[in-house]
Chains A and B, each alone.
Chain A
């Protein structure tokens, strides 16, 4: 019998659950079993499938209630000896500590040890405190920061299984913090808390605290879990935000379903890929809700774009797709010198621009890191603009152009090696104001432009020399383009306001007209099936953006300002209809701009039901 794949060319999986998004960025919070007693300012210990929740505030009173979680439901087990809230928890579900907190009468230093069935009072902290956090296990732990009833404290005590010893304070006294609760007594992080901007994060190395990367969203009364190199921060006053710590910085990941604060201190989980949130305050009441944060594990099936699967439980035929959202321009960093008609290469986060007209013509070179532009070594040949350009931040080509002072067209070529420019082999035809395409500095094409009249000439660069190839069908200048040496676009421009052509590595073919006639637009393309044109002179100046998908042009979100970006290398960037950088240009005659605008189309991998 022939297999399904042999007949249809693809497989269909039979599943009862959807494949999961990979990694921590694909993790989600789902419902866990509800606590039996709604409460806030409680503590916890353990991991997602075996945890305890003890103490807390039921408004009023403070309670000693202790519940055990088995991964599905909570069961009441032995109460603490001293009812309290705002304490902290350490350890696992069968061996835990309940430290400090507030009883109905006072902030306390009380410490109780849980052996899986009963709580026993053990050695108190050296000083009373509440709203602190801790890390470690029942024989080696650390409790730090908090509030002593009158002020926030930076104190830090280490537990050796029988007693507490004061060790080095945090740099900042604060309370209502969270930590990597499954860290150790010699390696943990303490984050958030009640000192603006409530985003501080400190790393403990067993000897001292060092400030490290702040949370993205400052907050207090949050929860945490994990270790000093793989932690989670979640909830807090009053947000759903969850952030993942990789040892260097925090990244926003999936949000809790219910915003809450004063949730579990301790019991947050042993890693940044599996965590537990329970109890807490939300506006309007104490919470029973438990949520489980789960990233795809090594045994799970993860999403595979294009995979079709049948859900036998719901009868749905589904497919995993990369769904593009709505593109938009956002503001990037300004170039240091406002100018137009530059050469450009690279990507939206690693771009290079060079030459251009300020006026006068320029030899300037600037590099972009996704945030700001930095001036680097100038070009070495005659200052010029309307150059052709392509390549990357570490390997780029500038060809031809015009010297503004005398209008002389050039066929000078310069090569950029990431540090400096050196003279390269001249191209064949002196010209200006054409377009270019090339993902690297050793492979690209330049086409069209003005040699004294409109040009249709195409030249190809192989890293050492230029070769003339087939001409454009329609000569033109002030055109836009982009792509690679073997797959490129040539868009609208002077003498060809409605002409677009596609390059297949050998010849140019006419393609569909765009919606808005213009020249001096900016352009970006990854090849001849994905490109963007933006801005230009219609006239007057236009802000319109059009996307090419290989078949048709579609109008999308406008640039913030109607701008003639200027041709001549503008297409050299490695862009597409999902990613481009509009740099400089002019917003009116002589009105040069320094602005950078970043085009981005968000995408999300989703499991989508196939419908009729």
Chain B
């Protein structure tokens, strides 16, 4: 499957419209990633979704960089958020697991 990459803030739902509609999900693959990066299937319906939202097109490399930068920053934040005497298990309980790398499809 070929994909297109774009950036758009997920604005959710209004009384008349949805950011992602049920029929969108029936027509093309769409998946959200950190940094408001959206990966959409490269077909007519995916293209229409990008146009409908005026999403900013990115290359795969550009989109990956956005995601990686955010994940790296989240990792740094997690690494630097220590409490004296806290075990690693306790830290995970307190903060959740350390963020892991994401590779875009």
Contact = CB atoms under 8 A, between A and B. Distances in A.
Interface in A593-612: 606-607, 609
A321 B74 CA distance: 44
Contact of B10 (A18, A34, A72): A34
10 contacts: A29-B25, A34-B13, A40-B96, A72-B15, A238-B100, A284-B34, A289-B32, A290-B13, A292-B13, A607-B23
Contacts, number: 100
Contact of A284 (B12, B31, B99): B99
Nearest to B30: A257
Nearest to A27: B22
Given A73-B13, A284-B35, A147 B99 contact: no
Given A283-B102, A284-B71, A31 B13 contact: yes
A21 interface: yes
B26 A31 contact: no
B46 to A, nearest CB: 13
A592 B102 CA distance: 46
B56 interface: no
A285 B74 contact: yes
Contacts of B62: none
A514 to B, nearest CB: 30
Interface bracket on B: 35 or more
Given A283-B74, A284-B71, A289-B32, A18 B26 contact: yes
Interface in A438-455: none
Interface in A71-115: 72-73
Given A262-B96, A283-B71, A285-B70, A18 B23 contact: yes
Contacts of A41: 96
A34 B24 CA distance: 18
A32 B13 contact: yes
Contacts of B25: 28-30, 254, 257
B99 A283 contact: yes
Contact of A257 (B11, B13, B32, B74): B32
B12 A606 contact: no
A367 interface: no
Given A30-B22, A237-B97, A257 B27 contact: no
Contact of B31 (A28, A31, A221, A258): A258
A33 interface: yes
Interface in A235-264: 237-238, 240, 254-255, 257-259, 261-262
